[in-house]
Amino acid sequence: NAGVTQTPKFQVLKTGQSMTLQCAQDMNHNSMYWYRQDPGMGLRLIYYSASEGTTDKGEVPNGYNVSRLNKREFSLRLESAAPSQTSVYFCASSDILRGSGNTEAFFGQGTRLTVV
Amino acid sequence: AQSVTQPDIHITVSEGASLELRCNYSYGATPYLFWYVQSPGQGLQLLLKYFSGDTLVQGIKGFEAEFKRSQSSFNLRKPSVHWSDAAEYFCAVGPYSGGYQKVTFGTGTKLQVIP
């Protein structure tokens, strides 16, 4: 089982450039998430998709857009990168079982993005 | 608003020694509590979770955590640390259901293990 796969693993961008981070999960989960991780700040939610066809803003959505391409794939786009977007980005997926609580969230290995 | 506090940013322990990582939370209803571990260069992995039942919960890799409602704490423990436990540990709190968009993660505790 691959779990959650993110590409690329590393990326350096110049200020103003755009890029898309890709994420795919093979666990048939309904919900997918994008987080950023900064030193001393833990994980902060950027956007999420509770189910295929829906997306919603999280805590820090400014400067980002997302697309839930299908049930497996959830991409994050930076339209005009800024140095403040230098961070490690994680994609995650989880499910909600009827009559039960939140299942374990599975995380990708992360994308380390530097904006210069 | 809900919150999680992990008061120790870094902890260093000797291999074979016991470990306790602290977590305090603030939550307006019955909390669903988690501990996740992040090994270097990896994503987060669930160690254990707690919502109800026995307040001492067992997880993977020999970890356990104790829920203390009166202290709003959910501390993680391990009796004997191995070098492979060096990682960053995150406590999290949220509702029982509704997805991880409502889960708040702490800022993490980085564990160093010395021989």
* B79 at interface of A, judged by CB pairs closer than 8 A: no
Q: Please, which pLDDT band fits residue B98 given cuts at 50, 70 and 90?
A: confident
* B32 at interface of A, judged by CB pairs closer than 8 A: yes
Best of B5, B9, B89, B101 to substitute, by most chain A Cβ atoms within 10 angstroms, is B101
Phi/psi for B70 (5° steps) reads -65, -25
pLDDT in tens, B55-72: 999 999 999 999 999 999
**Least reliable range by pLDDT among A56-65, A95-104, B6-15:** A95-104
Q: What is the pLDDT of residue B34?
A: 95
Mean pLDDT of B79-88: 97
B107–A40 CB contact, under 8 Å: yes
Residue with tokens 């993660």, as numbered in its chain: B105
User: Alpha-carbon distance B6 to A34, whole Å?
Assistant: 22
pLDDT in tens, A12-68: 999 999 999 999 999 999 999 999 999 888 899 999 999 999 999 999 999 999 999
* B8 at interface of A, judged by CB pairs closer than 8 A: no
CB atoms within 10 A of CB B95: 18
Shortest Cα distance, chain B CAs vs residue A43, angstroms: 6
Mean pLDDT of B82-108: 93
Q: Is residue A15 within 8 Å of residue B83, measured between CB atoms?
A: no
Q: Give the Cα-Cα-Cα angle B19, B25, B27 (nearest 5 degrees).
A: 155
User: Alpha-carbon distance B90 to B43, whole Å?
Assistant: 12
